[in-house]
Amino acid sequence: MTIDGLCVEATDTYDVINPATTDVFAQAPQATEDQLDAAVAAAQRAFLTWRETDVAVRREVMVACAVRMRAHADELIDWLVREQGKPFVVAQGEVMGSARWMEFTAGLPLPGEVVEVDGVKVGEVRRKPYGVVGAIVPWNYPLISAVWKIAPALLTGNTVVLKPSPFTPLATLRLGELLLDLLPPGVLNIISATDDLAPAMTAHSGIRKLTFTGSTATGKKVFAAAAEHIKGVTLELGGNDPAIVLADVDVADTAQKIFAAAFANSGQVCSAIKRVYVHADIHDALVVELASLAGKAVIGSGLDETVTVGPLSTQAQFDKVLDLMNDAAEQGGVFAAGAPEAVDRPGYFIAPAIITGLPDTARLVTEEQFGPALPILSFTHIDEVVSRANDTPYGLSASVWSIDIEAAVSVASRIDAGTVWVNQHMKPRPQLPTAGVKASGVGAENGAWGLESFLQIQTIAVA
Helix (H, G, I), strand (E, B) or coil at 392: coil
Distance of CA 304 to the CA centre of its chain: 24
- Selecting among 236, 289, 368, 445, the annotated active-site residue is 236
**Could you count the other beta carbons within 10 Å of the beta carbon of residue 330?**
11
**CB proximity list for 181: less than 8 A, separation 6 or greater:** none
Question: Catalytic residue at 94?
Answer: no
Sheet holding 113-117, edge to edge: 113-117, 120-129, 455-461
According to the 3-state scheme, what is the secondary structure of 129-172? Answer: ECCEEEEECCCCCHHHHHHHHHHHHHHCCCEEEEECCCCCCHHH
**Beta strands per DSSP E along 216-321:** 232-236, 241-245, 273-279
CB atoms within 10 A of CB 199: 12
DSSP state, 414? T
Nearest in space to 302 (alpha carbons), one of 25, 23, 82 = 82
Compute how many other C-beta atoms are within 10 angstroms of the C-beta atom of residue 27.
Answer: 13
Catalytic center residues? 236
